[in-house]
Amino acid sequence: MPRQLVLATSNKGKLAELQPLLADAGYALVTQGELGVEDAVEDGLSFIENAILKARHACAATGLPALADDSGLVVDALDGEPGLYSARYAGVHGDSAANIARLLERMQGLEGEQRRAHFHCVIVLMRHARDPQPLVVEGRWPGYVLEAPRGEGGFGYDPVFLVPEQQHTAAELDPALKNRISHRGLALAALRARLHEL
Ligand SMILES: O=c1nc[nH]c2c1ncn2[C@H]1C[C@H](O)[C@@H](COP(=O)(O)OP(=O)(O)OP(=O)(O)O)O1
Ligand SMILES: [Mg+2]
Protein backbone atom coordinates (compact mmCIF):
# COMPACT_ATOMS: atom_id res chain seq x y z
CA MET A 1 0.00 0.00 0.00
CA PRO A 2 1.59 3.33 -1.01
CA ARG A 3 1.50 6.07 1.61
CA GLN A 4 -1.32 8.55 1.19
CA LEU A 5 -0.59 12.19 0.48
CA VAL A 6 -3.22 14.93 0.72
CA LEU A 7 -3.08 17.62 -1.97
CA ALA A 8 -3.96 20.70 0.06
CA THR A 9 -5.45 22.81 -2.70
CA SER A 10 -8.92 23.55 -4.05
CA ASN A 11 -7.62 25.00 -7.31
CA LYS A 12 -8.57 22.64 -10.16
CA GLY A 13 -5.87 24.06 -12.44
CA LYS A 14 -3.18 23.31 -9.87
CA LEU A 15 -4.56 19.84 -9.23
CA ALA A 16 -4.46 19.05 -12.95
CA GLU A 17 -0.78 20.00 -13.01
CA LEU A 18 0.26 18.48 -9.66
CA GLN A 19 -1.31 15.06 -10.22
CA PRO A 20 0.82 14.00 -13.24
CA LEU A 21 3.94 15.54 -11.68
CA LEU A 22 3.45 13.40 -8.56
CA ALA A 23 2.04 10.32 -10.29
CA ASP A 24 5.14 8.16 -9.87
CA ALA A 25 6.52 9.70 -6.66
CA GLY A 26 5.34 6.73 -4.59
CA TYR A 27 2.22 8.22 -2.99
CA ALA A 28 -1.48 7.52 -3.27
CA LEU A 29 -2.82 11.02 -3.94
CA VAL A 30 -6.03 12.27 -2.40
CA THR A 31 -7.36 15.84 -2.62
CA GLN A 32 -8.40 17.76 0.45
CA GLY A 33 -11.81 18.22 -1.18
CA GLU A 34 -12.33 14.44 -1.33
CA LEU A 35 -11.66 14.31 2.42
CA GLY A 36 -14.02 17.20 3.20
CA VAL A 37 -11.25 19.57 4.29
CA GLU A 38 -12.26 23.24 4.15
CA ASP A 39 -9.88 25.83 2.67
CA ALA A 40 -7.28 27.16 5.11
CA VAL A 41 -7.19 30.84 6.02
CA GLU A 42 -4.28 32.25 3.98
CA ASP A 43 -3.22 35.13 6.19
CA GLY A 44 0.55 34.76 5.85
CA LEU A 45 2.66 37.58 4.44
CA SER A 46 4.77 35.48 2.08
CA PHE A 47 4.29 32.54 -0.30
CA ILE A 48 6.26 30.34 2.10
CA GLU A 49 4.07 31.21 5.07
CA ASN A 50 0.86 30.56 3.16
CA ALA A 51 2.10 27.24 1.77
CA ILE A 52 2.97 26.10 5.29
CA LEU A 53 -0.40 27.29 6.64
CA LYS A 54 -2.25 25.32 3.96
CA ALA A 55 -0.21 22.12 4.38
CA ARG A 56 -0.44 22.25 8.17
CA HIS A 57 -4.20 22.84 8.03
CA ALA A 58 -4.69 19.76 5.82
CA CYS A 59 -2.41 17.62 8.02
CA ALA A 60 -4.31 18.68 11.13
CA ALA A 61 -7.68 17.94 9.55
CA THR A 62 -6.75 14.52 8.14
CA GLY A 63 -3.87 13.12 10.18
CA LEU A 64 -2.10 12.46 6.87
CA PRO A 65 0.97 14.02 5.24
CA ALA A 66 0.03 16.94 3.00
CA LEU A 67 1.44 18.95 0.12
CA ALA A 68 0.48 22.58 -0.50
CA ASP A 69 1.31 25.04 -3.28
CA ASP A 70 1.25 28.79 -2.82
CA SER A 71 1.97 30.69 -5.97
CA GLY A 72 1.35 33.88 -7.84
CA LEU A 73 2.38 36.32 -10.51
CA VAL A 74 4.96 38.94 -9.56
CA VAL A 75 5.26 42.10 -11.69
CA ASP A 76 8.40 44.12 -10.96
CA ALA A 77 6.95 47.39 -12.30
CA LEU A 78 4.02 47.02 -9.85
CA ASP A 79 6.31 46.45 -6.85
CA GLY A 80 5.53 42.74 -6.91
CA GLU A 81 1.76 42.90 -7.38
CA PRO A 82 -0.41 40.86 -7.64
CA GLY A 83 2.02 38.56 -5.79
CA LEU A 84 0.51 37.04 -2.69
CA TYR A 85 -2.90 38.38 -3.69
CA SER A 86 -2.91 36.87 -7.20
CA ALA A 87 -5.99 34.71 -6.57
CA ARG A 88 -8.08 37.62 -5.28
CA TYR A 89 -6.54 40.62 -7.06
CA ALA A 90 -9.90 41.93 -8.30
CA GLY A 91 -11.71 41.15 -5.04
CA VAL A 92 -13.44 37.83 -5.74
CA HIS A 93 -11.30 34.76 -5.01
CA GLY A 94 -10.51 32.79 -8.16
CA ASP A 95 -12.19 35.09 -10.72
CA SER A 96 -9.43 34.83 -13.31
CA ALA A 97 -11.09 37.03 -15.95
CA ALA A 98 -11.56 39.84 -13.43
CA ASN A 99 -8.03 39.39 -12.04
CA ILE A 100 -6.57 39.62 -15.56
CA ALA A 101 -8.68 42.70 -16.34
CA ARG A 102 -7.43 44.45 -13.19
CA LEU A 103 -3.82 43.53 -13.99
CA LEU A 104 -4.03 44.82 -17.57
CA GLU A 105 -5.60 48.04 -16.33
CA ARG A 106 -2.84 48.54 -13.74
CA MET A 107 -0.20 47.93 -16.44
CA GLN A 108 -1.66 50.30 -19.02
CA GLY A 109 1.08 52.44 -20.53
CA LEU A 110 3.89 50.06 -19.52
CA GLU A 111 5.99 48.87 -22.46
CA GLY A 112 8.81 46.45 -23.25
CA GLU A 113 10.91 45.50 -20.24
CA GLN A 114 8.42 47.27 -17.97
CA ARG A 115 6.06 44.35 -18.71
CA ARG A 116 8.46 41.78 -17.25
CA ALA A 117 6.99 39.43 -14.67
CA HIS A 118 7.54 36.00 -13.19
CA PHE A 119 5.44 33.29 -11.66
CA HIS A 120 6.65 32.12 -8.27
CA CYS A 121 5.70 28.83 -6.64
CA VAL A 122 6.43 27.49 -3.18
CA ILE A 123 5.56 23.87 -2.47
CA VAL A 124 5.60 22.50 1.04
CA LEU A 125 5.37 18.88 2.08
CA MET A 126 4.65 18.21 5.76
CA ARG A 127 4.61 14.78 7.34
CA HIS A 128 2.25 15.83 10.12
CA ALA A 129 0.78 19.03 11.55
CA ARG A 130 3.68 19.59 13.96
CA ASP A 131 6.44 18.60 11.54
CA PRO A 132 9.43 20.78 12.56
CA GLN A 133 11.16 20.18 9.22
CA PRO A 134 8.73 20.57 6.34
CA LEU A 135 10.26 20.13 2.89
CA VAL A 136 10.15 23.55 1.22
CA VAL A 137 10.97 24.03 -2.46
CA GLU A 138 10.52 26.90 -4.87
CA GLY A 139 10.35 27.54 -8.59
CA ARG A 140 10.37 30.66 -10.71
CA TRP A 141 9.25 31.20 -14.31
CA PRO A 142 10.16 34.48 -16.04
CA GLY A 143 8.15 36.06 -18.83
CA TYR A 144 6.16 39.11 -19.90
CA VAL A 145 2.58 40.25 -19.41
CA LEU A 146 0.84 40.71 -22.77
CA GLU A 147 -1.69 43.47 -23.39
CA ALA A 148 -4.50 41.03 -24.27
CA PRO A 149 -5.22 37.36 -23.45
CA ARG A 150 -4.26 34.55 -25.88
CA GLY A 151 -4.99 30.81 -25.61
CA GLU A 152 -7.46 28.50 -23.92
CA GLY A 153 -5.29 26.18 -21.79
CA GLY A 154 -3.94 26.40 -18.26
CA PHE A 155 -5.60 28.57 -15.63
CA GLY A 156 -5.30 31.89 -13.81
CA TYR A 157 -3.03 34.40 -15.52
CA ASP A 158 -1.78 31.93 -18.17
CA PRO A 159 -3.51 33.68 -21.14
CA VAL A 160 -1.58 36.93 -20.54
CA PHE A 161 1.78 35.37 -19.57
CA LEU A 162 4.15 35.31 -22.55
CA VAL A 163 6.95 32.73 -22.41
CA PRO A 164 9.71 34.37 -24.48
CA GLU A 165 11.52 31.15 -25.47
CA GLN A 166 8.29 29.74 -26.90
CA GLN A 167 6.71 32.97 -28.21
CA HIS A 168 3.50 31.52 -26.82
CA THR A 169 1.45 32.33 -23.77
CA ALA A 170 1.33 29.77 -20.98
CA ALA A 171 -2.29 29.12 -22.04
CA GLU A 172 -1.09 28.16 -25.54
CA LEU A 173 1.46 25.60 -24.34
CA ASP A 174 0.95 21.86 -24.31
CA PRO A 175 0.25 20.98 -20.65
CA ALA A 176 3.21 18.58 -20.53
CA LEU A 177 5.54 21.34 -21.77
CA LYS A 178 4.17 23.82 -19.24
CA ASN A 179 4.81 21.24 -16.52
CA ARG A 180 8.44 20.81 -17.62
CA ILE A 181 9.33 24.50 -17.56
CA SER A 182 6.90 26.25 -15.22
CA HIS A 183 7.45 27.54 -11.69
CA ARG A 184 5.33 24.61 -10.44
CA GLY A 185 7.17 22.04 -12.57
CA LEU A 186 10.55 23.31 -11.37
CA ALA A 187 9.45 23.31 -7.72
CA LEU A 188 8.14 19.75 -8.06
CA ALA A 189 11.38 18.61 -9.68
CA ALA A 190 13.28 20.04 -6.70
CA LEU A 191 10.87 18.31 -4.32
CA ARG A 192 11.27 14.94 -5.99
CA ALA A 193 15.03 15.22 -5.75
CA ARG A 194 14.67 15.69 -1.98
CA LEU A 195 11.95 13.15 -1.12
CA HIS A 196 14.62 10.79 0.24
CA GLU A 197 15.22 13.29 3.08
CA LEU A 198 11.83 12.44 4.61
O1 LIG B 1 0.59 28.29 -13.30
C2 LIG B 1 -0.11 29.31 -13.16
N3 LIG B 1 -0.71 29.89 -14.22
C4 LIG B 1 -1.50 30.96 -14.09
N5 LIG B 1 -1.78 31.55 -12.91
C6 LIG B 1 -1.18 31.01 -11.81
C7 LIG B 1 -0.34 29.90 -11.89
N8 LIG B 1 0.09 29.60 -10.65
C9 LIG B 1 -0.45 30.50 -9.84
N10 LIG B 1 -1.23 31.36 -10.53
C11 LIG B 1 -2.02 32.50 -10.02
C12 LIG B 1 -3.50 32.28 -10.13
C13 LIG B 1 -3.89 31.63 -8.86
O14 LIG B 1 -5.23 31.82 -8.48
C15 LIG B 1 -2.94 32.31 -7.88
C16 LIG B 1 -2.50 31.35 -6.81
O17 LIG B 1 -3.10 31.65 -5.57
P18 LIG B 1 -3.04 30.53 -4.42
O19 LIG B 1 -3.58 31.07 -3.17
O20 LIG B 1 -1.68 29.92 -4.40
O21 LIG B 1 -4.00 29.39 -4.99
P22 LIG B 1 -5.58 29.27 -4.96
O23 LIG B 1 -6.18 30.15 -3.92
O24 LIG B 1 -6.06 29.42 -6.35
O25 LIG B 1 -5.76 27.74 -4.54
P26 LIG B 1 -5.27 27.07 -3.13
O27 LIG B 1 -4.85 28.17 -2.21
O28 LIG B 1 -6.44 26.28 -2.65
O29 LIG B 1 -4.12 26.16 -3.52
O30 LIG B 1 -1.78 32.66 -8.65
MG1 LIG C 1 -5.32 30.30 -2.14
pLDDT in tens, 86-131: 999 999 999 999 999 999 999 999 999 999 999 999 999 999 999 9
* Ligand 1 site, CB within 6 A: 9-11, 14, 39, 42, 54, 69-73, 86-87, 94, 119, 154-158, 170, 182, 184
Q: Count CA within 13 A, CB hemisphere, residue 79.
A: 0
Residue-wise pLDDT for 19-74, tens only, equals 999 999 999 999 999 999 999 999 999 999 999 999 999 999 999 999 999 999 99
User: Is 9 annotated in some ligand binding site?
Assistant: yes
Q: Which domains does the chain have, with CATH numbers?
A: 3-197 (3.90.950.10)
H/E stretch holding 73 reads: strand 66-75
Instruction: Calculate ∠ Cα 137-14-18, nearest 5°.
Output: 60
Structure confidence at residue 41 (pLDDT): 96
Would you please indicate which residues are annotated as catalytic (active-site) residues?
A: 70
- Respond yes or no on whether ipTM tops 0.85: yes
Structure confidence at residue 1 (pLDDT): 72
Q: Compute, in angstroms, the gap from residue 42 CA to the centroid of ligand 2.
A: 7
**How far apart, in Å, are the Cα atoms of 55 and each of 40, 43, 63, 76, 124?**
9, 13, 11, 28, 7
